[in-house]
Amino acid sequence: MFNYYFGLAIRSLKRNIVLTVLMIAAVGVGIGASMTTLTVFRAMDSDPIPQKSGQLFAVQIDNWGPDSKSVVSGDKERFQEQISYIDAVGLMNAKAAHRQTAMYKTGAALTPANPQLLPFQVQIRATHTDFFSMFDTPFLLGGAWSADDDKNHADLAVITQKLNDKVFGGGNSVGKTINLDDHEFRIVGILGLWEPIPQFYDLNNNAYGEGAEVYLPFTRAIDGQMPSWGNNNCNGDVGQPGWEGRLRSECVWLQFWAELPTAADVDGYRAFLNNYASEQQRLGRFHWPAHTRIRDVREWLVYQHAVSDEVRILVLVSFSFLLVCLLNAMGLMLAKIMGRAGDIGVRRALGASRRAIFAQCLIEASVVGLAGGLLGLALTALGLVGLRSLLSEEVSRLTHFSPADISIAIVLAVVATTLAGLYPTWRAAQVQPAWQLKAQ
Amino acid sequence: MEFGPIISAMRRNKVGAILIAVQMAITLAILCNALFIIEQRVALSKRPSGADEANVFIMDNQWVGNPPDVSARLQGDLAALRSLPGVQDAFATNSFPMSGGGSTEGIRLHPDQKDATALTALYFGDEHAIAGFGLKLVAGRNFNPGDVVDKLGYTDLKGPTGIIITRILADKLFPGGNAVGQSIYGAAPTGQTPIIGIVDRLQVPWISAGGWGSKFNDSSIIEPFNFISVYPYHYIVHTQPGQMSSVLQAAPKKLFDISRARVIGKTQTMSAARADAYKDDKGLVVILAVVCASLLAVTAFGIVGLTSYWVAQRRRQIGIRRALGATRNAIIQYFQTENLLIAGAGAAIGVALALSLNLWMVNAFAMQRLNTSYALIGAIVVLLLGQAAVLWPALKAASIPPALATRAA
């Protein structure tokens, strides 16, 4: 039966080729536009670490209080996106979570061993050993430094495969050293490709750009007075001058993440944080009641507006466009089906039931949807190429079509077109055989 | 033209007419909001930075390690850059307009004031900063070499001896127009700072729409500091007209001749920095324009398709009308009026939809209120589009011969 209807649909579509082409083009263009923007939106909105996003939490502590004189206002609840060095050390020492790490973005000049080569700049993330196990970073060779290395402020480094290729021409470089700003660091591990999109653990800087090339122990970077290359926010009170002054200040410039595997751990950590803040109040550092917050990865991305307004606007515009295209196709289908009222009358008179007519017309609509979907896929590919040439490199990294996107496009096209075909189809099923036959 | 027959004919084709009207309404709503965004983004990307962009380039420099004599090295580099043929002037700074990174300070007029009077961007530079960017000093004086001191990175909290501010900031702080000689209070615990000069314009580093800097786009301060930093900093080089490319080649060579223990990072002309900074805005403009054009095309083809179908459906009636004496023009007018009625209804819904869509976007995104004239322009565009689209089917209808009426169905 399906094959018969499918054949009828093709024949009917062939008979009025102009209307058919218009319908398919309308659906195709609509799907192309909406899938192009949806691809970018889905990439921005994707869960960068799906296996653990519910167990990793960003920590916020209000260390400025209600009378903050900051020119950079925090959110409505008075939270800053980063924490101070005092709090980072306090939370690290407490070790109240299953795993935890403080971190910040910095950089240095790497001087190659070959004196012929010029020094070049590398992006560095200063962090604790738990970073690697918390975020499931893929080690190709070697591994993370140890907790003792953190304690000992060790001159160790984890580098990316890309940097390993650049400096050593690939190979097993674990045990070799790199020279960063005239200090030697021994390589303990080499990371394979690891570029979560967005870079959820530090969204302040280049969230869609490339990540660090070198990872150093946090304690060692602090010893080396390596300044933050990211956002530094100071309250009205900037503290004392110099590096030590910055460490003792209430300036916020560090990210802090905790891994909390179970709901009980989460509750426990919330309680711990409040105790910590209350303790700070008792010590006279905070003049306000405990005010802390933890957010898991997905909450953090929403809180930090990981999806840009521009992309939201484009998604909105392109889906409205799809709606117009579908209304269009619906009008054309209506015209087409009503133009065939005579045929339908004959079929009804020959014994076809309303259901049969309904099924036949709906299949015709689905065929249009399928063809439109295929055209839409081609247009999406074209649209994404266009986006890559139009937009910055950061956004261009989000324009890759996944298999999921392909199925979304086809399903969206078929379902939407079939839905748009429901009314014309219903009208077709209402055709009175006698009336049509009389008119002939 | 009588509306009666048109309306009663439309009643028999309710759904078709409604479909077209709704399509036109949505088209209108998207069209005028998109045009509004386009207009805003274009205006945004045209804001001047204040610098002589055509003749300025930026060269990032970073020293290897933390050499103790950075101050002397900085002066050596600057002397070398300034002596290059084709260079007007050069200086070193922490940031530049459109770079997206820099330092902010809240400015107070009294030491005990709680909330800042103005947000500002801080640029560090010596007495060559104004000529280096190619800014226009409009009041007061430039820095003297004696005003300029070393600032050892951002954690050095010493305050400036005097500052040069932009005209817009001066007007905001001192609406009376007598800013030069007045004092302000910054974040640093250094007491009051006198304003010694005013430049016509200097944009802040952050330029994204609705972003951080959009609140104080032209409120900048130049502080008389040599920025001595382990952090990469920028040399700003102002070339003679036409000398850009030769200086761009010579400058890094000259600096590497002085020392190779450095990283010369990104070297870009200010025009390139502008193109880079606004790339996504330009992209958004192009995408919206393409979507708008496609939207108009799809809607137009939809009208052509449906109206053609109606014409085909009414061939006999049209033949009879022609046989009874209706002119070709009367037939054309019939379809044009019909479309005008549908498009008019669509436009009315569309204007309301456009304004509510905008209202929602004002809340959801950092958007401005839509100027009603955009909705009206959009309405006219949609009405004209309808008339243009209906013309071909109407002409086809007009060409139906009156003799059709005499033939059997």
On whether residue A399 sits in a domain, the answer given is: yes
Q: Which of A242, A259, A276 is the C-terminal boundary of a domain?
A: A259
User: Is A71's CB within 8 Å of B105's CB?
Assistant: yes
The answer to whether B380 contacts chain A (CB < 8 Å) is: no
Same domain, A361 and A429: yes
DSSP type of residue A32: H
User: Is A313's CB within 8 Å of B409's CB?
Assistant: no
Looking at beta carbons, which residues of chain A come within 8 Å of B309? 19, 332, 335-336, 338-339
Same domain, A124 and A243: yes
Same domain, A142 and A189: yes
Same domain, A235 and A334: no
On whether residue A225 sits in a domain, the answer given is: yes
Query: Is the model's pLDDT at A67 over the cut of 80?
Result: no
Residues 293-312 in B contacting A (C-alpha not used; CB under 8 Å) = 294-295, 298-299, 301-302, 305-306, 308-310, 312
The answer to whether B3 contacts chain A (CB < 8 Å) is: no
The answer to whether B2 contacts chain A (CB < 8 Å) is: no
Question: Which pLDDT value is given to residue B132?
Answer: 96
Residue burial B5-44, b: 16+ Cβ < 10 Å; e: rest: ebeeebeebeebbbbbbbbbbbbbbbbbbbbbbbebbeeb
The answer to whether B246 contacts chain A (CB < 8 Å) is: no
Q: Is residue A179 helix, strand or coil?
A: strand
Mention every residue, 6+ apart, whose C-beta is less than 8 A from residue B98.
B49, B203, B205, B207, B270, B273, B274, B276, B277, B278
Query: Considering only A105-119, A368-382, A391-405, B264-278, which range has the smallest mean pLDDT?
Result: A391-405
Same domain, A158 and A80: yes
Query: Is the model's pLDDT at A17 over the cut of 90?
Result: no
User: Is B187's CB within 8 Å of A238's CB?
Assistant: yes
The answer to whether B344 contacts chain A (CB < 8 Å) is: no
Residue of A nearest to B302 (CA): A328
Q: Point out the residue among A71, A328, A439 whose CB comes nearest to the CB of B298.
A: A328
Question: Which pLDDT value is given to residue A309?
Answer: 81
Q: Could you give the number of structural domains in chain A?
A: 2
Query: Is the model's pLDDT at A71 over the cut of 60?
Result: no
Residue A216 structure tokens:
């150093």
The answer to whether B54 contacts chain A (CB < 8 Å) is: no
Same domain, A17 and A130: no
Question: Which pLDDT value is given to residue A345?
Answer: 83
Looking at beta carbons, which residues of chain A come within 8 Å of B20? 331
On whether residue A329 sits in a domain, the answer given is: yes
User: Is B155's CB within 8 Å of A242's CB?
Assistant: yes
The answer to whether B324 contacts chain A (CB < 8 Å) is: no
User: Is B19's CB within 8 Å of A69's CB?
Assistant: no
The answer to whether B359 contacts chain A (CB < 8 Å) is: no
Query: Is the model's pLDDT at B285 over the cut of 60?
Result: yes
Same domain, A343 and A242: no
Looking at beta carbons, which residues of chain B come within 8 Å of A335? 16, 305-306, 308-310
Count A/B contacts: CB-CB distance under 8 Å. 187
User: Is A121's CB within 8 Å of B302's CB?
Assistant: no
Same domain, A213 and A238: yes
Question: Which pLDDT value is given to residue B3?
Answer: 75
B contact test, residue of A15, A309, A384, A397 with most B CBs within 10 A: A309
The answer to whether B44 contacts chain A (CB < 8 Å) is: no
User: Is A26's CB within 8 Å of B188's CB?
Assistant: no
User: Is B301's CB within 8 Å of A26's CB?
Assistant: yes
User: Is A331's CB within 8 Å of B23's CB?
Assistant: yes
On whether residue A269 sits in a domain, the answer given is: no
pTM beyond 0.90: the answer is no
In tens, the pLDDT along B108-138 reads 888 878 778 888 999 999 999 999 999 999 9
Looking at beta carbons, which residues of chain B come within 8 Å of A19? 305, 309
Looking at beta carbons, which residues of chain A come within 8 Å of B308? 335
Question: Which pLDDT value is given to residue A183?
Answer: 94
Query: Is the model's pLDDT at B365 over the cut of 80?
Result: no
pLDDT band with cut points at 50, 70 and 90 for residue B257: very high
Same domain, A77 and A148: yes
Query: Considering only A164-168, A427-431, B181-185, which range has the smallest mean pLDDT?
Result: A427-431
Query: Considering only A219-223, B60-64, B371-375, which range has the smallest mean pLDDT?
Result: B371-375
The answer to whether B142 contacts chain A (CB < 8 Å) is: no
Domain spans of chain B, in order of start: 4-46+280-406, 65-260
User: Is A71's CB within 8 Å of B260's CB?
Assistant: no
Same domain, A21 and A144: no
Q: Closest approach of chain B CAs to the CA of A423, in angstroms?
A: 9
The residue written with tokens 């509750």 in the block is A267
Instruction: Give me the domain span that covers residue A229.
Output: 63-259
In tens, the pLDDT along A228-280 reads 988 888 876 677 888 999 999 988 999 999 999 999 999 999 999 999 999 99
Could you tell me if A191 and A220 are in contact, meaning their C-beta atoms sit under 8 angstroms apart?
no
On whether residue A267 sits in a domain, the answer given is: no
pLDDT band with cut points at 50, 70 and 90 for residue B188: low
pLDDT band with cut points at 50, 70 and 90 for residue B156: confident
Q: Closest approach of chain A CAs to the CA of B395, in angstroms?
A: 18
Q: Point out the residue among B261, B305, B312 whose CB comes nearest to the CB of A119.
A: B261
Q: Point out the residue among B30, B65, B286 whose CB comes nearest to the CB of A321.
A: B30
Same domain, A230 and A368: no
